Structure 1
Amino acid sequence: MVQPHPAPQTAWQRTPAEHTAAVRALAPEPRPERIPLPEATGRILARDVASPRELPLWDCSAMDGFAARRADLAEGVVLPVRGDVPAGVAPGPLEPGTAMRIMTGSPVPQGADTVVPVELTDIPRGPVPLPQEVRVDELPAGDNTRAAGSDVTTGQVVAEAGTVLDALTLGAVAAVGVAEVEATRPVRVRAVATGDELAPLGTEPGPGQLPDCNSWLVHGLATALGHPTERVLLDHDDPEELGRRLPELTADTDLLVFTGGVSAGAFEVVRQCLEPRGIEFGQVSMQPGKPQGVGQLDGVTVLCLPGNPVSAVVSFLAFARPWLDAASGREAPGPVTAVLGDGWAKKPGRTQYMPVTLSPEEGRLVARRRSAEGSLSHLASRLAGVDGFAIVPAAAEGVQEGDLVEVMMVP
C-alpha cells in the first residue's frame, strides 16, 4: 500500500494573471516548417501569405450575358453575335457594332466595356444555341464587369501569420495559386490523469472509484485547438511508479499535462513525485482551480492541474491554452463580453469562473449559469452545453442580472 506523505510547503501564491504569465513564459518559440497546402489543414501560419499575382488576372464578366460596347447600346437595338466566350477561353477583339455571348468569369473581349445580362435580352436563359443576333430589351445599370486586380493585387497579403489554416483560409491561399505555406510545427500534448480512484472507460468502477473523464477533457480541449494529443491513465497513487514512467511520459511531447494529485493531501502522487524534481506547486487565487503546479522536465513544460473536472477545464483554458497559443504562434483570443441573465453571490478573495451558456437576445450576448449549483468543481455532468466561463473579479461579493462580464470561451 502507498504510504501517505507529509504535506509540503506552498511555493507561491499568485493571481490568475500572474500564473498565466509564469506559464506562458515557459513556452518555446514556434517552430516553422514549409509544407504542401493539402497537409496544412488546421495548422497555424508562421509567415504571411502574399499573392504572387493579381486576381482576377484579367477584366472578366460578372454576369452571363452579352459583351458589347456601351456606345452601341440602346433599348431595342439589335446586334449581330460574333461568337462565344466560355470560361477558360481567351477571346479575340470585339468588332464595333457587334456582341459576343459571354459567361460569368470569362475574360471580357478587347473593345468591350459592358456586359448585358441575358435576362435583359430576347435570348432565353440556359443552354441554347449561339444566336445570330441579340436584341437589347433593357439597358444594364452598370457595366457588369470585374476589373483585373479588383480582388487581390500582386504582393497583397491574403492570410496573416498566426491565422489558423481552416477551410476558408486554405481556399483563399489556393485561389492565388500558392501551393506551399510556412506553418508552425504541431505542438504535441500528453494528457495524464492520475489516481487510484479512476477507472478506465468501458469498465465497471470498483469500490471508491469513478470513470476517468479528465484525460478525455484535456484531450478534447487540446485537439479542438489543433494539437495532436495522447491520453494516458495512471490509475494508481504511487510516486515511485510515476517516477519510473517519467522518461516515457516526457518522450516525444512538448507539453505534459497532469490532472489530479497536485494539492496538499496525504496521497498527492503528482506533487510527491515531481516536487523533488523541480516542479513548483502553489496556489492561485481562483475558484475553481486553486492548487496548481508548473515547471519543466528534460525541456518539456509540465502543467499540473487539479483533479476535479471543472477545475481541470478552467485551469486548462486559463493556463495551458495561453502556453499552446504562444508555442504555436497563434494569436491568443481574449474573452468576450456578455450581459448576465441572472445573478449570484460569491465570497470575495478569489476570482470566480462560472460555467455559463451564451445566447443572442435582442442584439445582446446574454450569459446564464449552466446550473444553479454554480462553479462547484466536481460537477462534471454540468459541463455539457457550457459555452464559456464568466469571470467574476476576486473583490466582488456577487453579480447582478444585467451586469457586464467577461467570458473565457470554450474552443
Structure 2
Amino acid sequence: MSDGMVPTSVRVVRSVDEHREVVRVLLAPLAARLGADELAVSAERMSRHPHDYDGRVLAADVTAPIDLPPFDNSQMDGYAVASDDLMDASGERPVALRVAAHIPAGSTGRPLERGWAAPIMTGAPIPDGADAVVPIEQVDPPRFFPDADVSQHAVAPPVARFTRPVAPGTYRRARGSDIAAGSLLLAVGTRLGAAQWGVLAASGVATVPVRRRVRVTVLSTGHELRQPGDELGPGQIFDANSAALTRALAEVGADVRTVAAVSDDPEAFSRQLAALGAETDLLVTTGGVSAGAYEVVRETLAGAGVDFVGVRMQPGGPQGSGALRDTGMPVVTFPGNPVSALISFEVFLRPVLLELAGARASDRQRLRVTLAEDATSPVEKHQIRRGRLREDGRVELIGGPGSHLLHAYAASALLVHIPAGVASVTAGDTLDAWRIDD
C-alpha cells in the first residue's frame, strides 16, 4: 500500500496542522531537560571536531566584550594624512608631504606631524594626528618608498605628492563602528554559522553557551532492508531512510544514531527498544505503521502509548506519535517509503526540533510560486509535490505524487503545497512553496 494512502482501517482524524501540534506538545517537555553546553570558540577544535559545531544554537545572549574594530584603522593601503594639509591640493598645484616611517598591520606608528604622510597598510592603526587615508594609487609616485629610506626624523625624507583634497574620515574605519563594547553581540536563539563564529572570535569570546543537542535514535524497520554495499537478494532493497533522516536531523542540530531493524518480529523489535537506554531523548521510526500484515511498529507500540492515526496529507498519510508508557520516551513514527519519511520530517518534526533548540527561525523559507503546468490532487488531502524554479520564474513539478520517487525529490528545490479541498490546479495558478535547498 502506498504511504500516500491512509489504510481503510485507520480513520483520518487529523489535518496537517493538527498533527504538527500533537508532535510539538509531545516533545515540549524535552526543552526543560536539554540545558546548555559550553563550546569553545576555537578554530583548532572546530577542525578536529566539526560535528560539535554543526547547527548549534545560542542558549543565552552574548554581549560584546570589546569594540569592533578595537581601534581606528586603515581601510586601504595608502598614506595616513591630516586632511587639512591637502585642502588646496589640485592637479595643477600638487601638495608635497614628507614621507614618514611605514605603519604595517600589527604595529603602532608615531604621532603624525603636520606636513607629513605615513605609509599605512590595510588594518594598521591610524596614527594620532591623521584623520584620513589616501589610497596608494592616487599618490605620486603610486608606490611605497623602501622602509629604509623613510623616517619621521630623516634629514632629507622622500616626498609624496597629492593632487586632490581628502575629506576627514576617508578610508578610516572608526573604533566601534561595527559594534560597541557592551552591546548585544548575538541574541539567544541565534543559529551559529560561519559569520557568527567569526564575530565571536573577532571579539575575543573564548566560550559560548549552546543548547544541548536532542539525542535522536533513528530506527528503520523492514525485513527487506539491506545496507549500501551489501548484496541484495530477491525482494530486498537498500535502506535509504537511515541515511536521509540522519542528515536531516543533524542539519537541525540533533545528535543522531541509527539502528536498523531487519526483522518484522515484534519481540525482536521490543528487544531493540529496550536496549536504547536513557541516552535517547527521542525515537524516530520509519516503516511498519500501515494497517497491513507485518507492520511491526504499529503492532508493538499501539498498546504501549503510541497513537497511530491518519493525516490528511499525501504522501505521508499514516503517522504515529506518543510517549512509551514504561519509560516515557517520546516516539514519532513515519511511513517507510523514503519520500513520505522525508516529507513527514519536514512537515512535522523539523520545525519542532528547531524550536526545541531555541532557534528564532524554525520554518523553511516560504514563497508564493506560479505553476508551469497542471496537476491534480485528492480533494480531501493536503498534497505536497516536489518542484524547481525554471528560468522564467515559474515552477515545474518533478516526478509525480508517488512516495517512492526519491530521485525526483533529490533533484528538487521546493516543496509545493496543494491544500486540502483543491482537486486540481492549472498552469498560472499560485501556490505556497517551501525552499529545501537553503
TM-score, scaled relative to structure 2: 0.85
CA RMSD of aligned residues (A): 2.2
Alignment of 1:222-233 (within 5 A): 222-233=249-260
Deviation at 1:83, TM superposition (A): 1.9
Compared CA separation, residues 404 and 12, structure 1 to 2 (3 A): closer
* Contact 2:64-2:183 within 8 A present in 1 as well: yes
**Hey, what does 1:305 align to over in structure 2?**
334
Compared CA separation, residues 355 and 250, structure 1 to 2 (3 A): farther
**Of residues 184, 189, 200 in structure 1, which corresponds to 2:227?**
200
**Hey, what does 2:128 align to over in structure 1?**
110
**Hey, what does 2:49 align to over in structure 1?**
none
Which piece of structure 1 moves more, 255-264 or 100-109? 100-109
* Contact 1:281-1:294 within 8 A present in 2 as well: yes
**Hey, what does 1:156 align to over in structure 2?**
183
Deviation at 1:281, TM superposition (A): 0.8
Alignment of 1:114-129 (within 5 A): 114-125=132-143, 128-129=146-147
Deviation at 1:204, TM superposition (A): 2.6
**Hey, what does 1:64 align to over in structure 2?**
77
Deviation at 1:299, TM superposition (A): 3.6
**Hey, what does 1:369 align to over in structure 2?**
397
Find out whether 1:235 has 2:265 as its counterpart. no
Q: What runs of 5+ residues in structure 1 fail to find an aligned partner?
A: 1-6
* Contact 1:26-1:323 within 8 A present in 2 as well: no
Q: What runs of 5+ residues in structure 2 fail to find an aligned partner?
A: 1-6, 47-51, 151-156
AA aligned opposite 1:56:
P
User: Secondary structure of 1:276's partner?
Assistant: coil
Deviation at 1:8, TM superposition (A): 11
Deviation at 1:172, TM superposition (A): 1.5
* Contact 1:64-1:117 within 8 A present in 2 as well: yes
**Hey, what does 1:53 align to over in structure 2?**
66
**Hey, what does 1:385 align to over in structure 2?**
411
User: Secondary structure of 2:102's partner?
Assistant: strand
Deviations 1:218-268 (A, max 9, x none): 112112333232222111111111112212135412221111111111221
The CA distance in 1 between the partners of 2:73 and 2:365, in whole Å, is 43
* Contact 1:31-1:328 within 8 A present in 2 as well: no
**Hey, what does 1:22 align to over in structure 2?**
22
Deviations 1:112-164 (A, max 9, x none): 11222211111333674455221113334662212211111112223222222
User: Secondary structure of 1:320's partner?
Assistant: helix
Compared CA separation, residues 18 and 121, structure 1 to 2 (3 A): same
User: Secondary structure of 1:107's partner?
Assistant: coil
* Contact 1:198-1:235 within 8 A present in 2 as well: yes
**Hey, what does 1:322 align to over in structure 2?**
351
The CA distance in 2 between the partners of 1:126 and 1:197, in whole Å, is 73
The CA distance in 2 between the partners of 1:72 and 1:339, in whole Å, is 61
Equivalenced residues, count: 400
Find out whether 1:96 has 2:108 as its counterpart. no
AA aligned opposite 1:152:
I
**Of residues 355, 362, 371 in structure 2, which corresponds to 1:332?**
362
**Of residues 163, 176, 188 in structure 1, which corresponds to 2:215?**
188
The CA distance in 1 between the partners of 2:230 and 2:113, in whole Å, is 80
The CA distance in 1 between the partners of 2:311 and 2:291, in whole Å, is 14
* Contact 1:11-1:280 within 8 A present in 2 as well: no
The CA distance in 2 between the partners of 1:240 and 1:293, in whole Å, is 20
The CA distance in 2 between the partners of 1:126 and 1:252, in whole Å, is 63
The CA distance in 1 between the partners of 2:199 and 2:109, in whole Å, is 27
**Hey, what does 2:35 align to over in structure 1?**
31
**Of residues 338, 342, 346 in structure 1, which corresponds to 2:373?**
342
The CA distance in 2 between the partners of 1:254 and 1:232, in whole Å, is 15
Compared CA separation, residues 351 and 158, structure 1 to 2 (3 A): same
AA aligned opposite 1:83:
A
* Contact 2:26-2:330 within 8 A present in 1 as well: yes
User: Secondary structure of 2:39's partner?
Assistant: strand
* Contact 1:250-1:300 within 8 A present in 2 as well: no
The CA distance in 2 between the partners of 1:335 and 1:123, in whole Å, is 52
AA aligned opposite 2:164:
E
User: Secondary structure of 2:297's partner?
Assistant: helix
Deviations 1:286-311 (A, max 9, x none): 01111100012324321111111111
User: Secondary structure of 1:249's partner?
Assistant: coil
